[in-house]
Amino acid sequence: MEQTAKVVAVTGASSGIGEATARRLAADGHRVFLGARRTDRLERLVEEIAGAGGTAAFRRLDVTDAADTRAFINAAASAYGRVDAVVNNAGLMPLSPLEALRTEEWDRMIDVNVRGVLHGIAAALPLMRAQGGGHFVNIASVGAYEVSPTAAVYCATKFAVRAISEGLRQESAGDIRVTLVSPGVTESELADSISDPEAREAMKTYRAVALPASAIAEAIAYALSQPPQVDVNEIVVRPAASAQ
Ligand SMILES: NC(=O)c1ccc[n+]([C@@H]2O[C@H](COP(=O)([O-])OP(=O)(O)OC[C@H]3O[C@@H](n4cnc5c(N)ncnc54)[C@H](OP(=O)(O)O)[C@@H]3O)[C@@H](O)[C@H]2O)c1
């Protein structure tokens, strides 16, 4: 296990998996730089981490905005001198059948789940290249491997995250490591973004068995803790009781 403390920027750190990841990585001794739109949550989280002896800072971030994402990564580099890893975690999941034609929700998913990840890569890749290395941990989903009704667009965004991660890995082998972490059902606020009544109802059953967000944070911490010559490429984490 590599023990070196790293500087890790985490997007979508105001709740769920991102929040648990911030706590876990800080407890492991990493310096975390946290982004999301709900800064009141980030402020409380940073205080909590600092109170526990960790090092954390935050900046408001909207990953749909390329310039804002660049400013976020640059702020992390200014705060801590470098950026060793970026956890591209921000995402949303407003599920609905295609025939409901919720085109604005399709656009939002594409903007946050796909463009957001690309913006994170565009912001950090030049910096990582200049400093001689770096690590992207991109959060996909079991929906990156299989499609189900009401989840066509969400799964499409996660298939895209998987494709982008694999392309980045192949193109930057040597100095940039890329890990795709794909959670199954995990406790978080993700299902709150579902506005379609039927999809929302169906999710209550589907999401009845869920992992704690700390289980995904653990997988991320594992990938980041590997020695420089080891690149953990894909991790899928499901509840043991889950068939899908
Ligand atoms: N929970 C699951 O069952 C599950 C399963 C598979 C994959 N995932 C993936 O895990 C990731 C984290 O989701 P979660 O489950 O932890 O859900 P969550 O609790 O809803 O967290 C989503 C995070 O994304 C942030 N976010 C949303 N839009 C954003 C934007 N435009 N700019 C910056 N941040 C934004 C939210 O913060 P603000 O609203 O404060 O901006 C929040 O911190 C997502 O990519 C999701 O697709 C989750």
Place of tokens 């009781």: 241
Q: What is the pLDDT of residue 202?
A: 86
Arithmetic mean of pLDDT, 132-153: 98
Residue-wise DSSP of 166-219: HHHHHHTTTTEEEEEEEE-SBSSSGGGG---HHHHHHHHHHTSS-B-HHHHHHH
Task: Determine if ligand 1 sits within 6 Å of the CB of residue 157.
Answer: no
> Do residues 220 and 24 lie in contact, with contact meaning Cβ atoms separated by under 8 Å?
yes
Q: Going by CA atoms, what residue is nearest to atom 36 of ligand 1?
A: 12
Q: Is 138 in the pocket of ligand 1 (CB under 6 A)?
A: no
| 153 contacts 109 by C-beta, under 8 angstroms | yes
pLDDT at 204: 84
| Atom from ligand 1 closest to the CA of residue 140 | 7
Per-residue pLDDT, averaged over 142-147, amounts to 98
Q: Is the CB of 186 under 6 A from ligand 1?
A: yes
Domains and CATH numbers, the chain: 7-237 (3.40.50.720)
Which residues are tagged catalytic?
154
**21 vs 143: CA distance, rounded Å:** 21
Reported pTM: 0.97
Q: Is residue 88 very low, low, confident or very high in pLDDT (cuts 50, 70, 90)?
A: very high
pLDDT given for residue 243 in this prediction: 77
pLDDT of 3 over the 50 cut: no
How does the average pLDDT of the chain come out, rounded? 96
Region 134-154: what's the mean pLDDT?
A: 98
